[in-house]
């Protein structure tokens, strides 16, 4: 039971569980290139681009564009609607602007070049606080080799929820350790 070989197994499997957690968390935070391959420019309908996407805190928007013709300004809703940014809002001008969505709520962006916003080069996204519940994404191996003891049904409901993915990864790791001992 407490042989050095089983200790080694514990360490290996614990590392696997940690790696699983890291992988699942990484899969949750998404990076979106605004406009996908077309990037940030005139002939993309960004209302259509946003349609069907869900944004969560931790996701990232990347604006890619030709700096000769475009920029990015973070504006208020009123300025977005009117296509009229105030002069003191800082212009993002790198051509590869990375914006991490750190707070939930609405974000509004537009291009500050004359008439670009009125032609549709504007983007608004609603950022939600929390990633979706994990039921659509079982931990790897869960269906192939169901752990004998630790089924999700036995877990207290309070433990499954926002931390459900992390928690089930830990359960997966512990169950795997159990199988090896």
Q: Least distance to ligand NAG from the beta carbon of 3, Å?
A: 55
> Which among ligand NAG, Cu ion, none contacts residue 120 (Cβ within 5 to 8 A by kind)?
ligand NAG
3-state secondary structure of 171: helix
Lookup result for tokens 């001008």: 93
Q: 13 vs 125, which CB is nearer to ligand NAG?
A: 125
Q: Treating both helix axes as pointing N-terminal to C-terminal, what angle do 4-28 and 164-180 enclose, rounded to 10 degrees?
A: 160
Q: Is 95 in the site for Cu ion (CB under 5 A)?
A: no
Q: From the list ligand NAG, Cu ion, none, pick the one residue 113 interacts with, judged by a Cβ distance below 5 to 8 Å according to partner type.
A: Cu ion
The reply to whether 113 sits near Cu ion by the rule CB under 5 A is yes
58 near ligand NAG, judged by CB under 6 A:
no
**Whole-angstrom Cα distance, residue 124 to residue 7?**
53
- The H-or-E segment that residue 77 falls in is helix 77-82
Q: What is the rounded CA–CA span in Å between residue 9 and residue 28?
A: 29
Binding site for ligand NAG (CB under 6 A): 45, 47-48, 74, 99, 107, 120
């Amino acid at each position: 039971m407490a042989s050095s070989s089983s200790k080694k197994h514990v360490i290996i499997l614990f590392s696997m569980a940690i790696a699983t957690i890291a992988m699942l968390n990484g899969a949750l935070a998404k990076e979106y290139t605004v406009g996908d391959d077309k990037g940030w420019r005139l002939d993309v309908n960004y209302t259509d681009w946003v349609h069907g996407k869900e944004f969560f805190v931790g996701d990232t928007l990347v604006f890619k564009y030709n700096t000769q013709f475009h920029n990015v300004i973070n504006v208020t809703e009123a300025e977005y609607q009117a296509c009229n940014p105030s002069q003191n809002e800082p212009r993002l001008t790198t051509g590869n602007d990375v914006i991490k969505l750190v707070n939930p709520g609405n974000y509004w962006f537009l291009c500050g070049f004359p008439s670009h916003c009125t032609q549709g080069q504007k983007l608004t996204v609603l950022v939600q606080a929390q990633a979706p519940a994990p039921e659509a994404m079982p931990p790897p191996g869960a269906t192939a080799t169901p752990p004998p003891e630790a089924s999700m049904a036995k877990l207290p409901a309070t433990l499954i929820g926002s931390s459900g993915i992390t928690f089930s990864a830990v359960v997966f790791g512990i169950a795997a350790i159990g199988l090896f001992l």
